[in-house]
Structure 1
Protein backbone atom coordinates (compact mmCIF):
# COMPACT_ATOMS: atom_id res chain seq x y z
CA UNK A 1 0.00 0.00 0.00
CA UNK A 2 1.10 3.60 -0.51
CA UNK A 3 1.32 4.04 3.26
CA UNK A 4 4.23 1.59 3.24
CA UNK A 5 6.34 3.79 0.94
CA UNK A 6 4.98 7.24 1.82
CA UNK A 7 8.11 8.36 3.67
CA UNK A 8 10.34 7.59 0.68
CA UNK A 9 8.35 9.54 -1.91
CA UNK A 10 9.42 12.92 -3.31
CA UNK A 11 7.39 15.56 -5.13
CA UNK A 12 8.11 15.53 -8.88
CA UNK A 13 7.92 19.33 -8.98
CA UNK A 14 10.08 20.41 -6.03
CA UNK A 15 11.62 17.15 -4.70
CA UNK A 16 10.29 17.76 -1.19
CA UNK A 17 8.83 14.89 0.80
CA UNK A 18 5.21 13.85 0.35
CA UNK A 19 2.64 12.92 2.98
CA UNK A 20 -0.79 11.35 2.72
CA UNK A 21 -3.76 13.59 3.53
CA UNK A 22 -6.91 11.59 3.02
CA UNK A 23 -6.99 10.54 -0.63
CA UNK A 24 -4.08 12.74 -1.76
CA UNK A 25 -0.32 13.07 -1.40
CA UNK A 26 0.89 16.60 -0.64
CA UNK A 27 4.24 18.32 -0.16
CA UNK A 28 5.08 21.36 1.97
CA UNK A 29 5.02 23.57 -1.15
CA UNK A 30 1.36 22.71 -1.72
CA UNK A 31 1.64 20.37 -4.68
CA UNK A 32 -1.05 17.71 -4.46
CA UNK A 33 -1.59 14.33 -6.17
CA UNK A 34 -4.86 12.46 -5.91
CA UNK A 35 -4.87 8.71 -5.34
CA UNK A 36 -6.66 6.71 -8.03
CA UNK A 37 -9.48 4.47 -6.86
CA UNK A 38 -7.46 1.47 -8.09
CA UNK A 39 -4.81 2.17 -5.43
CA UNK A 40 -1.98 3.82 -7.37
CA UNK A 41 -0.89 7.47 -7.56
CA UNK A 42 0.45 9.38 -10.55
CA UNK A 43 3.56 11.44 -9.80
CA UNK A 44 4.17 12.49 -13.38
CA UNK A 45 5.21 16.14 -13.58
CA UNK A 46 2.50 17.50 -15.86
CA UNK A 47 2.66 16.41 -19.50
CA UNK A 48 6.47 16.20 -19.59
CA UNK A 49 6.97 12.47 -20.05
CA UNK A 50 8.32 10.21 -22.76
CA UNK A 51 5.35 7.91 -23.46
CA UNK A 52 2.34 6.02 -22.14
CA UNK A 53 3.88 2.59 -21.56
CA UNK A 54 2.17 -0.75 -21.98
CA UNK A 55 -1.43 -0.77 -23.16
CA UNK A 56 -4.32 -2.45 -21.35
CA UNK A 57 -4.15 -5.38 -23.79
CA UNK A 58 -0.40 -5.82 -23.28
CA UNK A 59 -0.80 -5.75 -19.52
CA UNK A 60 -3.64 -8.26 -19.63
CA UNK A 61 -1.50 -10.59 -21.76
CA UNK A 62 1.41 -10.26 -19.36
CA UNK A 63 -0.82 -10.98 -16.39
CA UNK A 64 -2.18 -14.12 -18.04
CA UNK A 65 1.28 -15.38 -18.97
CA UNK A 66 2.68 -14.75 -15.50
CA UNK A 67 -0.34 -16.38 -13.88
CA UNK A 68 0.42 -19.47 -15.96
CA UNK A 69 3.75 -19.77 -14.13
CA UNK A 70 5.83 -19.75 -17.32
CA UNK A 71 8.33 -17.20 -16.00
CA UNK A 72 8.30 -18.41 -12.41
CA UNK A 73 11.95 -19.64 -12.59
CA UNK A 74 13.01 -16.07 -13.38
CA UNK A 75 11.02 -14.69 -10.43
CA UNK A 76 12.49 -17.32 -8.12
CA UNK A 77 16.05 -16.61 -9.27
CA UNK A 78 15.47 -12.88 -8.73
CA UNK A 79 14.09 -13.47 -5.23
CA UNK A 80 17.10 -15.64 -4.36
CA UNK A 81 19.49 -12.93 -5.57
CA UNK A 82 17.57 -10.35 -3.54
CA UNK A 83 17.95 -12.44 -0.40
CA UNK A 84 21.67 -12.84 -1.08
CA UNK A 85 22.11 -9.11 -1.67
CA UNK A 86 20.27 -8.28 1.55
CA UNK A 87 22.42 -10.72 3.54
CA UNK A 88 25.62 -9.25 2.09
CA UNK A 89 24.51 -5.69 2.86
CA UNK A 90 25.94 -3.80 5.80
CA UNK A 91 22.41 -2.66 6.69
CA UNK A 92 20.25 -4.55 9.17
CA UNK A 93 17.94 -5.57 6.35
CA UNK A 94 16.27 -4.22 3.26
CA UNK A 95 13.60 -1.62 4.06
CA UNK A 96 12.73 -0.39 0.56
CA UNK A 97 12.82 -2.28 -2.73
CA UNK A 98 12.14 -0.05 -5.74
CA UNK A 99 11.19 -1.76 -9.01
CA UNK A 100 11.85 0.48 -12.02
CA UNK A 101 9.52 -0.67 -14.80
CA UNK A 102 7.57 -2.87 -12.39
CA UNK A 103 4.73 -3.71 -14.76
CA UNK A 104 2.16 -5.87 -13.00
CA UNK A 105 4.30 -6.18 -9.85
CA UNK A 106 4.83 -9.90 -10.42
CA UNK A 107 8.59 -9.91 -9.81
CA UNK A 108 8.47 -7.36 -7.00
CA UNK A 109 5.89 -9.47 -5.17
CA UNK A 110 8.21 -12.50 -5.30
CA UNK A 111 11.09 -10.43 -3.94
CA UNK A 112 8.97 -9.03 -1.10
CA UNK A 113 7.95 -12.57 -0.14
CA UNK A 114 11.68 -13.29 0.26
CA UNK A 115 12.27 -10.06 2.23
CA UNK A 116 9.49 -9.94 4.84
CA UNK A 117 10.70 -6.68 6.40
CA UNK A 118 10.74 -4.66 3.19
CA UNK A 119 8.24 -2.40 1.45
CA UNK A 120 8.07 -2.21 -2.34
CA UNK A 121 7.74 0.78 -4.66
CA UNK A 122 6.36 -0.28 -8.05
CA UNK A 123 7.39 2.39 -10.57
CA UNK A 124 5.99 2.36 -14.10
CA UNK A 125 4.58 4.76 -16.67
CA UNK A 126 1.61 2.50 -17.49
CA UNK A 127 -1.42 3.09 -15.29
CA UNK A 128 -2.88 -0.16 -16.60
CA UNK A 129 0.11 -2.08 -15.24
CA UNK A 130 0.04 -0.31 -11.89
CA UNK A 131 -3.62 -1.10 -11.35
CA UNK A 132 -2.45 -4.70 -11.09
CA UNK A 133 0.77 -3.91 -9.22
CA UNK A 134 -1.18 -2.12 -6.48
CA UNK A 135 -2.95 -5.43 -5.77
CA UNK A 136 0.01 -7.77 -6.34
CA UNK A 137 1.25 -7.68 -2.73
CA UNK A 138 0.08 -5.99 0.50
CA UNK A 139 3.43 -4.18 0.89
CA UNK A 140 3.54 -2.67 -2.62
CA UNK A 141 2.89 1.01 -3.24
CA UNK A 142 2.29 1.74 -6.95
CA UNK A 143 3.48 5.01 -8.51
CA UNK A 144 3.11 6.24 -12.09
CA UNK A 145 6.33 7.93 -13.20
CA UNK A 146 8.67 8.22 -16.16
CA UNK A 147 11.82 6.07 -16.00
CA UNK A 148 13.73 8.67 -18.05
CA UNK A 149 12.89 11.60 -15.76
CA UNK A 150 13.91 12.21 -12.12
CA UNK A 151 12.25 9.45 -10.11
CA UNK A 152 9.81 10.54 -7.36
CA UNK A 153 11.93 8.99 -4.60
CA UNK A 154 14.32 10.57 -2.12
CA UNK A 155 18.09 10.42 -2.38
CA UNK A 156 19.66 7.21 -1.10
CA UNK A 157 16.38 5.75 0.13
CA UNK A 158 16.35 2.33 -1.58
CA UNK A 159 18.28 -0.65 -0.27
CA UNK A 160 17.55 -2.62 -3.43
CA UNK A 161 16.36 -1.76 -6.92
CA UNK A 162 14.94 -4.15 -9.51
CA UNK A 163 14.91 -3.72 -13.27
CA UNK A 164 13.29 -6.55 -15.22
CA UNK A 165 12.96 -6.21 -19.02
CA UNK A 166 12.68 -2.46 -18.47
CA UNK A 167 14.38 0.89 -19.24
CA UNK A 168 17.54 1.63 -17.23
CA UNK A 169 18.26 5.18 -16.04
CA UNK A 170 21.76 4.88 -14.57
CA UNK A 171 22.07 8.33 -12.95
CA UNK A 172 18.68 8.05 -11.24
CA UNK A 173 19.25 4.47 -10.11
CA UNK A 174 22.50 5.58 -8.48
CA UNK A 175 20.83 8.58 -6.83
CA UNK A 176 17.98 6.56 -5.36
CA UNK A 177 20.14 3.68 -4.11
CA UNK A 178 21.74 4.10 -0.72
CA UNK A 179 25.55 3.69 -0.57
CA UNK A 180 26.20 -0.05 -0.70
CA UNK A 181 22.74 -0.74 -2.11
CA UNK A 182 22.25 -3.10 -5.05
CA UNK A 183 20.54 -3.12 -8.43
CA UNK A 184 19.29 -6.48 -9.70
CA UNK A 185 18.86 -6.36 -13.46
CA UNK A 186 17.16 -9.01 -15.58
CA UNK A 187 17.74 -8.86 -19.34
CA UNK A 188 17.08 -11.35 -22.16
CA UNK A 189 19.93 -13.08 -23.94
CA UNK A 190 20.00 -13.59 -27.70
CA UNK A 191 18.55 -17.08 -27.13
CA UNK A 192 15.38 -15.80 -25.45
CA UNK A 193 12.27 -17.03 -27.33
CA UNK A 194 14.54 -18.02 -30.23
CA UNK A 195 12.11 -20.68 -31.53
CA UNK A 196 9.46 -17.99 -32.02
CA UNK A 197 11.63 -15.21 -33.43
CA UNK A 198 12.13 -16.74 -36.85
CA UNK A 199 8.85 -18.65 -37.05
CA UNK A 200 6.69 -15.64 -36.19
CA UNK A 201 8.89 -12.75 -37.26
CA UNK A 202 9.36 -11.36 -33.75
CA UNK A 203 11.93 -8.81 -32.67
CA UNK A 204 15.24 -10.46 -31.81
CA UNK A 205 17.63 -9.61 -28.97
CA UNK A 206 20.83 -7.84 -29.96
CA UNK A 207 23.89 -10.03 -29.35
CA UNK A 208 25.66 -6.94 -27.96
CA UNK A 209 22.90 -6.16 -25.49
CA UNK A 210 24.92 -7.12 -22.41
CA UNK A 211 27.87 -5.01 -23.51
CA UNK A 212 25.63 -2.01 -24.10
CA UNK A 213 24.08 -2.43 -20.64
CA UNK A 214 27.54 -2.51 -19.05
CA UNK A 215 28.58 0.62 -20.93
CA UNK A 216 25.50 2.56 -19.87
CA UNK A 217 25.61 1.54 -16.21
CA UNK A 218 29.42 1.52 -15.84
CA UNK A 219 29.81 5.21 -14.89
CA UNK A 220 27.28 4.85 -12.06
CA UNK A 221 27.39 1.33 -10.62
CA UNK A 222 29.91 -1.46 -10.01
CA UNK A 223 29.12 -4.93 -11.40
CA UNK A 224 29.21 -7.62 -8.70
CA UNK A 225 28.15 -10.77 -10.53
CA UNK A 226 25.91 -12.23 -13.19
CA UNK A 227 24.22 -15.58 -13.72
CA UNK A 228 22.20 -17.04 -16.56
CA UNK A 229 18.76 -18.52 -16.07
CA UNK A 230 17.68 -20.69 -18.99
CA UNK A 231 14.86 -23.21 -19.25
CA UNK A 232 12.37 -24.65 -21.72
CA UNK A 233 8.68 -23.74 -21.75
CA UNK A 234 6.00 -25.90 -23.37
CA UNK A 235 3.47 -23.47 -24.80
CA UNK A 236 0.12 -23.93 -26.47
CA UNK A 237 -1.05 -21.63 -29.25
CA UNK A 238 -2.82 -19.30 -26.84
CA UNK A 239 0.30 -19.07 -24.67
CA UNK A 240 2.29 -18.11 -27.76
CA UNK A 241 -0.26 -15.42 -28.64
CA UNK A 242 0.05 -14.14 -25.10
CA UNK A 243 3.84 -13.99 -25.00
CA UNK A 244 3.83 -12.11 -28.30
CA UNK A 245 1.14 -9.71 -27.13
CA UNK A 246 2.79 -8.82 -23.84
CA UNK A 247 6.19 -7.70 -25.17
CA UNK A 248 7.71 -5.21 -27.60
CA UNK A 249 6.76 -7.38 -30.58
CA UNK A 250 3.14 -6.47 -29.85
CA UNK A 251 3.82 -3.09 -31.45
CA UNK A 252 5.28 -4.62 -34.62
CA UNK A 253 3.36 -7.85 -35.33
CA UNK A 254 0.49 -8.02 -37.82
CA UNK A 255 -2.36 -10.04 -36.23
CA UNK A 256 -3.32 -11.71 -39.48
CA UNK A 257 0.22 -12.84 -40.25
CA UNK A 258 0.64 -14.01 -36.67
CA UNK A 259 -2.43 -16.24 -36.88
CA UNK A 260 -1.26 -17.68 -40.20
CA UNK A 261 2.16 -18.45 -38.72
CA UNK A 262 0.61 -19.98 -35.58
CA UNK A 263 -1.39 -22.35 -37.75
CA UNK A 264 1.86 -23.87 -38.94
CA UNK A 265 3.20 -24.60 -35.45
CA UNK A 266 2.73 -28.00 -33.84
CA UNK A 267 1.47 -27.82 -30.25
CA UNK A 268 2.88 -27.71 -27.71
CA UNK A 269 5.78 -25.54 -28.84
CA UNK A 270 9.02 -25.93 -26.92
CA UNK A 271 10.35 -22.40 -26.39
CA UNK A 272 13.58 -21.31 -24.72
CA UNK A 273 13.48 -18.71 -21.96
CA UNK A 274 16.96 -17.28 -21.45
CA UNK A 275 17.91 -14.29 -19.31
CA UNK A 276 20.77 -12.94 -17.26
CA UNK A 277 20.30 -11.85 -13.65
CA UNK A 278 23.05 -9.34 -12.88
CA UNK A 279 23.86 -7.55 -9.65
CA UNK A 280 25.38 -4.07 -9.45
CA UNK A 281 26.33 -2.12 -6.35
CA UNK A 282 26.44 1.55 -5.63
Structure 2
Protein backbone atom coordinates (compact mmCIF):
# COMPACT_ATOMS: atom_id res chain seq x y z
CA UNK A 1 0.00 0.00 0.00
CA UNK A 2 1.16 3.61 -0.60
CA UNK A 3 2.63 5.81 2.13
CA UNK A 4 0.20 7.91 4.14
CA UNK A 5 1.61 11.09 2.58
CA UNK A 6 0.18 9.97 -0.76
CA UNK A 7 -3.39 10.53 0.37
CA UNK A 8 -3.75 14.01 -1.19
CA UNK A 9 -7.13 12.99 -2.52
CA UNK A 10 -10.65 14.39 -2.51
CA UNK A 11 -13.76 12.53 -1.41
CA UNK A 12 -15.82 11.65 -4.51
CA UNK A 13 -19.01 12.33 -2.55
CA UNK A 14 -18.41 15.72 -0.87
CA UNK A 15 -15.04 16.84 -2.34
CA UNK A 16 -13.43 17.31 1.08
CA UNK A 17 -9.93 16.01 1.78
CA UNK A 18 -9.46 12.31 2.40
CA UNK A 19 -7.01 10.81 4.88
CA UNK A 20 -5.98 7.33 5.84
CA UNK A 21 -7.78 6.04 8.93
CA UNK A 22 -5.26 4.25 11.11
CA UNK A 23 -1.86 2.81 10.37
CA UNK A 24 -2.93 -0.03 8.10
CA UNK A 25 -3.55 2.33 5.13
CA UNK A 26 -6.59 0.30 4.10
CA UNK A 27 -9.34 2.88 4.67
CA UNK A 28 -9.73 6.44 3.39
CA UNK A 29 -12.13 8.76 5.25
CA UNK A 30 -13.18 12.40 4.94
CA UNK A 31 -14.33 14.77 7.74
CA UNK A 32 -17.98 14.11 6.79
CA UNK A 33 -17.49 10.42 7.48
CA UNK A 34 -17.52 9.07 3.95
CA UNK A 35 -15.33 5.99 3.99
CA UNK A 36 -13.61 3.92 1.30
CA UNK A 37 -12.00 0.58 2.06
CA UNK A 38 -9.30 -0.92 -0.11
CA UNK A 39 -10.26 -4.06 -1.98
CA UNK A 40 -8.35 -7.21 -1.14
CA UNK A 41 -6.15 -6.59 -4.18
CA UNK A 42 -5.19 -3.11 -2.92
CA UNK A 43 -7.21 -0.64 -5.00
CA UNK A 44 -9.98 1.77 -3.94
CA UNK A 45 -13.35 2.10 -5.68
CA UNK A 46 -14.45 5.74 -6.05
CA UNK A 47 -17.39 5.08 -8.37
CA UNK A 48 -20.32 6.35 -6.31
CA UNK A 49 -23.97 7.01 -7.07
CA UNK A 50 -24.79 5.64 -10.51
CA UNK A 51 -21.16 4.76 -11.16
CA UNK A 52 -20.20 5.20 -14.82
CA UNK A 53 -22.04 4.82 -18.11
CA UNK A 54 -18.88 3.60 -19.84
CA UNK A 55 -18.02 -0.04 -20.44
CA UNK A 56 -14.97 -1.13 -18.48
CA UNK A 57 -12.41 -3.51 -19.93
CA UNK A 58 -13.28 -7.12 -19.18
CA UNK A 59 -11.10 -9.65 -17.38
CA UNK A 60 -9.94 -11.31 -20.61
CA UNK A 61 -9.12 -7.97 -22.24
CA UNK A 62 -7.04 -6.98 -19.21
CA UNK A 63 -5.30 -10.36 -19.08
CA UNK A 64 -4.37 -10.02 -22.76
CA UNK A 65 -2.95 -6.52 -22.17
CA UNK A 66 -1.02 -7.60 -19.09
CA UNK A 67 0.62 -10.52 -20.88
CA UNK A 68 1.39 -8.48 -24.01
CA UNK A 69 2.93 -5.56 -22.11
CA UNK A 70 4.78 -7.85 -19.70
CA UNK A 71 6.53 -9.38 -22.72
CA UNK A 72 8.08 -5.95 -23.38
CA UNK A 73 6.64 -5.33 -26.84
CA UNK A 74 5.71 -1.73 -26.01
CA UNK A 75 8.66 -1.01 -23.72
CA UNK A 76 10.07 1.60 -26.16
CA UNK A 77 6.77 3.47 -25.80
CA UNK A 78 6.93 3.29 -22.01
CA UNK A 79 10.46 4.69 -22.13
CA UNK A 80 9.31 7.52 -24.41
CA UNK A 81 6.47 8.41 -22.03
CA UNK A 82 8.94 8.53 -19.14
CA UNK A 83 11.29 10.73 -21.20
CA UNK A 84 8.44 13.18 -21.82
CA UNK A 85 7.20 13.19 -18.23
CA UNK A 86 10.41 13.47 -16.19
CA UNK A 87 11.14 17.16 -17.04
CA UNK A 88 7.94 18.15 -15.22
CA UNK A 89 9.73 17.43 -11.94
CA UNK A 90 12.76 19.63 -12.65
CA UNK A 91 11.31 22.75 -11.00
CA UNK A 92 10.52 21.06 -7.69
CA UNK A 93 12.48 21.82 -4.54
CA UNK A 94 15.02 19.00 -4.10
CA UNK A 95 13.73 16.34 -1.76
CA UNK A 96 10.07 17.30 -2.06
CA UNK A 97 8.00 14.61 -3.77
CA UNK A 98 6.21 15.29 -7.02
CA UNK A 99 2.98 13.66 -8.08
CA UNK A 100 2.03 11.64 -11.15
CA UNK A 101 -1.60 11.12 -12.20
CA UNK A 102 -1.87 8.23 -14.65
CA UNK A 103 -5.33 8.62 -16.18
CA UNK A 104 -6.45 5.34 -17.69
CA UNK A 105 -3.61 3.48 -15.97
CA UNK A 106 -4.83 0.08 -17.13
CA UNK A 107 -2.48 -2.61 -15.89
CA UNK A 108 0.00 0.04 -14.70
CA UNK A 109 2.93 -0.87 -16.97
CA UNK A 110 3.61 2.66 -18.25
CA UNK A 111 3.41 4.14 -14.75
CA UNK A 112 5.81 1.46 -13.50
CA UNK A 113 8.49 2.52 -15.95
CA UNK A 114 8.06 6.20 -15.06
CA UNK A 115 8.26 5.54 -11.32
CA UNK A 116 11.37 3.42 -11.80
CA UNK A 117 12.96 6.19 -13.88
CA UNK A 118 12.26 8.78 -11.19
CA UNK A 119 13.54 6.50 -8.44
CA UNK A 120 16.77 5.85 -10.34
CA UNK A 121 17.30 9.61 -10.59
CA UNK A 122 16.69 10.06 -6.88
CA UNK A 123 13.51 12.04 -7.54
CA UNK A 124 10.83 11.30 -4.93
CA UNK A 125 7.40 10.86 -6.46
CA UNK A 126 3.92 9.85 -5.44
CA UNK A 127 1.42 8.43 -7.88
CA UNK A 128 -2.29 8.03 -8.46
CA UNK A 129 -3.51 5.54 -11.04
CA UNK A 130 -7.10 5.85 -12.32
CA UNK A 131 -9.12 3.42 -14.40
CA UNK A 132 -12.76 2.35 -14.63
CA UNK A 133 -11.89 -1.36 -14.84
CA UNK A 134 -11.57 -3.15 -11.53
CA UNK A 135 -9.89 -6.01 -13.40
CA UNK A 136 -7.20 -3.61 -14.60
CA UNK A 137 -6.77 -2.06 -11.15
CA UNK A 138 -6.21 -5.47 -9.60
CA UNK A 139 -3.19 -5.85 -11.85
CA UNK A 140 -2.03 -2.25 -11.43
CA UNK A 141 -2.18 -2.39 -7.64
CA UNK A 142 0.12 -5.39 -7.63
CA UNK A 143 2.52 -3.87 -10.15
CA UNK A 144 2.58 -0.42 -8.49
CA UNK A 145 1.99 -0.99 -4.77
CA UNK A 146 3.44 2.42 -3.88
CA UNK A 147 0.74 4.19 -5.92
CA UNK A 148 -2.85 4.83 -4.90
CA UNK A 149 -4.88 2.91 -7.47
CA UNK A 150 -8.49 4.04 -7.84
CA UNK A 151 -11.49 2.88 -9.84
CA UNK A 152 -12.81 6.19 -11.14
CA UNK A 153 -14.35 7.74 -14.26
CA UNK A 154 -12.11 10.34 -15.88
CA UNK A 155 -15.22 12.19 -17.14
CA UNK A 156 -16.34 12.85 -13.58
CA UNK A 157 -14.56 15.38 -11.31
CA UNK A 158 -11.17 13.88 -10.54
CA UNK A 159 -10.54 13.05 -6.85
CA UNK A 160 -7.45 15.28 -6.79
CA UNK A 161 -7.04 18.84 -5.42
CA UNK A 162 -6.35 21.86 -7.63
CA UNK A 163 -2.72 22.20 -8.72
CA UNK A 164 -1.63 19.04 -6.92
CA UNK A 165 -0.10 17.15 -9.84
CA UNK A 166 3.20 17.58 -11.70
CA UNK A 167 2.40 15.39 -14.67
CA UNK A 168 -0.70 13.71 -16.08
CA UNK A 169 -0.05 10.75 -18.38
CA UNK A 170 -2.75 9.51 -20.75
CA UNK A 171 -1.83 6.46 -22.83
CA UNK A 172 -4.62 5.41 -25.22
CA UNK A 173 -7.21 6.76 -22.78
CA UNK A 174 -9.89 9.51 -22.71
CA UNK A 175 -8.85 13.11 -22.08
CA UNK A 176 -10.82 15.39 -19.77
CA UNK A 177 -9.05 18.65 -20.64
CA UNK A 178 -10.72 20.84 -18.02
CA UNK A 179 -10.02 18.46 -15.16
CA UNK A 180 -6.46 17.76 -16.26
CA UNK A 181 -5.78 21.51 -16.40
CA UNK A 182 -7.35 21.97 -12.97
CA UNK A 183 -5.21 19.38 -11.19
CA UNK A 184 -1.89 20.30 -12.84
CA UNK A 185 0.40 22.75 -11.09
CA UNK A 186 1.83 25.74 -13.01
CA UNK A 187 4.58 24.35 -15.21
CA UNK A 188 3.13 20.85 -15.07
CA UNK A 189 2.85 18.59 -18.11
CA UNK A 190 0.18 16.59 -19.85
CA UNK A 191 1.65 13.67 -21.80
CA UNK A 192 -0.73 12.05 -24.30
CA UNK A 193 -0.11 8.96 -26.41
CA UNK A 194 -2.27 8.28 -29.48
CA UNK A 195 -1.87 5.87 -32.41
CA UNK A 196 -0.84 7.24 -35.81
CA UNK A 197 -2.28 6.21 -39.18
CA UNK A 198 -0.86 2.82 -40.14
CA UNK A 199 -0.68 1.62 -36.53
CA UNK A 200 -0.87 -2.20 -36.58
CA UNK A 201 -2.08 -2.03 -40.20
CA UNK A 202 -0.67 -5.48 -41.02
CA UNK A 203 -3.20 -7.18 -38.74
CA UNK A 204 -5.86 -4.59 -37.90
CA UNK A 205 -8.34 -5.39 -40.65
CA UNK A 206 -8.19 -9.16 -40.46
CA UNK A 207 -8.24 -9.16 -36.67
CA UNK A 208 -11.27 -6.88 -36.50
CA UNK A 209 -9.44 -4.03 -34.79
CA UNK A 210 -10.62 -0.43 -35.01
CA UNK A 211 -9.18 1.81 -37.70
CA UNK A 212 -7.21 4.99 -36.98
CA UNK A 213 -8.91 8.29 -37.79
CA UNK A 214 -6.58 10.25 -40.15
CA UNK A 215 -7.72 13.45 -38.40
CA UNK A 216 -6.92 12.11 -34.93
CA UNK A 217 -4.13 14.62 -34.29
CA UNK A 218 -6.37 17.53 -35.25
CA UNK A 219 -9.14 16.21 -32.99
CA UNK A 220 -6.67 15.87 -30.11
CA UNK A 221 -5.57 19.48 -30.50
CA UNK A 222 -9.16 20.67 -30.74
CA UNK A 223 -10.19 18.77 -27.61
CA UNK A 224 -7.44 20.45 -25.58
CA UNK A 225 -7.64 23.91 -27.14
CA UNK A 226 -8.41 26.59 -24.60
CA UNK A 227 -6.98 24.54 -21.75
CA UNK A 228 -3.52 23.55 -22.99
CA UNK A 229 -0.69 24.80 -25.20
CA UNK A 230 1.39 22.32 -27.17
CA UNK A 231 5.04 21.91 -26.14
CA UNK A 232 6.16 19.08 -28.41
CA UNK A 233 4.98 16.26 -30.64
CA UNK A 234 7.12 13.24 -31.43
CA UNK A 235 6.53 10.12 -33.50
CA UNK A 236 7.69 6.68 -32.46
CA UNK A 237 7.75 3.60 -34.69
CA UNK A 238 8.25 0.21 -33.04
CA UNK A 239 8.72 -2.85 -35.26
CA UNK A 240 7.18 -5.93 -33.69
CA UNK A 241 7.76 -9.63 -34.39
CA UNK A 242 4.74 -11.32 -32.85
CA UNK A 243 3.79 -14.90 -32.19
CA UNK A 244 0.23 -15.95 -33.05
CA UNK A 245 -0.67 -15.74 -29.37
CA UNK A 246 0.63 -12.18 -29.14
CA UNK A 247 -1.31 -11.15 -32.23
CA UNK A 248 -4.43 -12.41 -30.48
CA UNK A 249 -3.54 -10.55 -27.30
CA UNK A 250 -2.88 -7.34 -29.23
CA UNK A 251 -6.28 -7.54 -30.92
CA UNK A 252 -8.11 -8.35 -27.70
CA UNK A 253 -6.45 -5.82 -25.41
CA UNK A 254 -7.70 -2.70 -27.20
CA UNK A 255 -11.15 -1.12 -27.53
CA UNK A 256 -12.15 -3.63 -30.21
CA UNK A 257 -11.93 -6.28 -27.52
CA UNK A 258 -15.38 -5.24 -26.31
CA UNK A 259 -16.90 -6.54 -29.55
CA UNK A 260 -14.49 -9.07 -31.03
CA UNK A 261 -15.74 -12.57 -31.77
CA UNK A 262 -13.41 -14.64 -29.58
CA UNK A 263 -13.89 -17.81 -31.64
CA UNK A 264 -13.13 -15.99 -34.89
CA UNK A 265 -10.01 -14.47 -33.33
CA UNK A 266 -8.83 -17.91 -32.18
CA UNK A 267 -9.37 -19.25 -35.70
CA UNK A 268 -7.34 -16.39 -37.12
CA UNK A 269 -4.40 -16.88 -34.79
CA UNK A 270 -4.43 -20.63 -35.48
CA UNK A 271 -3.60 -20.06 -39.15
CA UNK A 272 -0.95 -17.37 -38.64
CA UNK A 273 2.74 -18.08 -39.31
CA UNK A 274 5.10 -18.51 -36.34
CA UNK A 275 6.10 -14.84 -36.57
CA UNK A 276 4.11 -11.90 -37.91
CA UNK A 277 5.83 -8.57 -38.58
CA UNK A 278 3.71 -5.67 -37.32
CA UNK A 279 4.40 -1.92 -37.23
CA UNK A 280 3.33 -0.02 -34.12
CA UNK A 281 3.11 3.71 -34.76
CA UNK A 282 2.64 6.13 -31.89
CA UNK A 283 2.45 9.86 -31.34
CA UNK A 284 3.64 11.31 -28.00
CA UNK A 285 2.28 14.81 -27.46
CA UNK A 286 3.25 17.06 -24.56
CA UNK A 287 1.16 20.01 -23.39
CA UNK A 288 1.25 22.58 -20.62
CA UNK A 289 -1.80 24.25 -19.06
CA UNK A 290 -2.71 27.74 -20.26
CA UNK A 291 -2.81 30.02 -17.21
CA UNK A 292 -3.57 33.69 -16.58
CA UNK A 293 -2.61 35.24 -13.24
CA UNK A 294 -2.17 31.76 -11.80
CA UNK A 295 -5.60 30.55 -12.91
CA UNK A 296 -6.52 28.16 -15.67
CA UNK A 297 -8.12 30.13 -18.51
TM-score (norm 2): 0.90
The CA distance in 2 between the partners of 1:222 and 1:100, in whole Å, is: 19
Question: What residue number does 2:292 align with?
Answer: none
> Counterpart of 1:145?
152
| Cα distance, 1:245 vs structure 2 | 1.2
Give the conservation status (yes or no) of the 8 Å contact 1:4–1:139: no
Aligned counterparts of 2:237 and 2:68: Cα–Cα separation in 1: 17
In structure 2, the partner of 1:19 is 19
Residue of structure 1 equivalent to 2:187: 180
Contact 1:54/1:129, CA 8 A, preserved across alignment? yes
Q: Which residue of structure 2 aligns with residue 269 of structure 1? A: 276
User: What is the CA deviation profile of residues 3-22 of structure 1, one whole-angstrom value per residue up to 9, with x for unaligned ones?
Assistant: 35643200011111001114
Q: Cα offset for 1:52?
A: 4.4
Quote how far apart the aligned CAs of 1:242 are: 0.6
- The match for 1:249 is 256
Contact 1:6 1:18 in 2 (8 A): no
For 2:48 and 2:180, locate their aligned partners in 1 and report how far apart those are by CA, in whole Å: 19
After TM superposition, the structure 1 stretch with the greater mean CA deviation from structure 2, 20-29 or 157-166, is 20-29
Q: Deviations over 1:154-191 (max 9, x none)?
A: 11100111000001111110111111110111111111
Residue 207 of structure 1 deviates from its aligned partner by 0.7
Structure 1 distance, partners of 2:4, 2:244, is 40
**Separation in 2 of the partners of 1:37 and 1:255?**
30
Partner of 1:241, secondary structure, is: helix
Deviation sequence 1:82-120 (CA, Å, 0-9, x none): 223333x46657610000000011001111111121111
Match of 1:76 in 2: 79
Q: Where does the alignment leave 5 or more consecutive residues of structure 1 unmatched?
A: none
Q: How does 1:29-108 map to 2 (within 5 A)?
A: 29-87=32-90, 89=91, 92=94, 95-108=98-111
Partner residue, 1:199: 206
Q: Distance in 2 between matches of 1:167 and 1:135?
A: 23
Contact 1:161–1:184 (CA under 8 A) maintained in structure 2: yes
The alpha-carbon deviation at position 152 of structure 1 amounts to 0.8
- What residue in structure 2 maps to residue 7 of structure 1? 7
C-alpha distance in 2, partners of 1:245/1:5? 37
Q: Secondary structure of 2:36's partner?
A: strand
* Secondary structure, counterpart of 1:149 in structure 2: coil
The alpha-carbon deviation at position 139 of structure 1 amounts to 2.4
Gaps of 5+ in 2: 290-297
TM-superposed CA distance for 1:140, in Å, is 1.4
Number of equivalenced pairs: 281
Q: Deviations over 1:240-274 (max 9, x none)?
A: 11111111111222223323433443230000111
Cα separation, 2, equivalents of 1:80 and 1:265: 35
Question: Which residue number corresponds to residue 227 of structure 1?
Answer: 234
